[in-house]
Amino acid sequence: MKQRKIVFAALAFFALIAFAAAGYRWFLVKPTLTVHLRCDAEVSGKLSVAVMSPNGETNNPESFDIRTICQNGKIELGNYQREKSVRFMVERGGVEKFDLLSEYGRNIQSDQNGFYMLLKVTNSPPFISNDSI
| Residues 11 and 52 grouped into a single domain | no
Section 76-87 average pLDDT: 88
Cα distance between residue 48 and residue 90, in whole Å: 6
What is the CATH number for 76?
2.60.40
How does strand 114-121 pair with strand 109-111? antiparallel
In this predicted model, what pLDDT tens digit does every residue of 8-65 receive, in sequence order? 777 777 777 776 665 555 556 678 899 999 998 888 899 999 999 888 888 888 999 9
**Coil, helix or strand at residue 80:** coil
pLDDT for position 60: 85
Peptide bond into 61 cis (omega under 30): no
Phi, psi values for residue 76, rounded to 5°: -120, 130
pTM (predicted TM-score)? 0.74
| Residues 13 and 67 grouped into a single domain | no
C-alpha distances (whole Å) from 23 to each of 20, 60, 114 are 5, 30, 18
In this predicted model, what pLDDT tens digit does every residue of 113-124 receive, in sequence order? 889 999 999 888
Range of the domain at 69: 33-131
